[in-house]
Amino acid sequence: MKQNITVAIDQPLLKQARKLAVNRGKSVSGLLADELRKLTNREADYERAKAKALAHLKSPFRLGGGKIADREVLHDRKGFR
């Protein structure tokens, strides 16, 4: 269901909006509705991406690799003496 709203904008901006709407084959109302739809969709996409990223941060990252050797093995220099 569509609902009418009132928007107060300056006359020069309205004139430009009318030209833009005509160039796109739409009404000013349709142009505004499309832009508001894009804006709200972009915001929803951002919120989903943010939630996904935060969920990834709650679980540890597996970077591969094996067990780290102890200090003695890493610094064994008997072969160099």
Which pLDDT does position 80 carry in this prediction?
58
Radius of gyration of the chain (CA): 30
Which pLDDT does position 52 carry in this prediction?
94
Contact 4, 18 (CB under 8 A): no
Which pLDDT does position 79 carry in this prediction?
62
Sign of the CA dihedral running 10, 15, 16, 17:
positive
Tens-digit pLDDT string for the chain (81 aa): 989 999 999 999 999 999 999 999 999 999 999 999 999 999 999 999 999 999 988 887 778 777 777 777 777 766 655
Domain ranges of the chain: 21-57
Which pLDDT does position 78 carry in this prediction?
67
Cα 11 to chain center, whole Å? 34
pTM for this structure?
0.64
Choose among 11, 9, 33: nearest CA to 21: 33
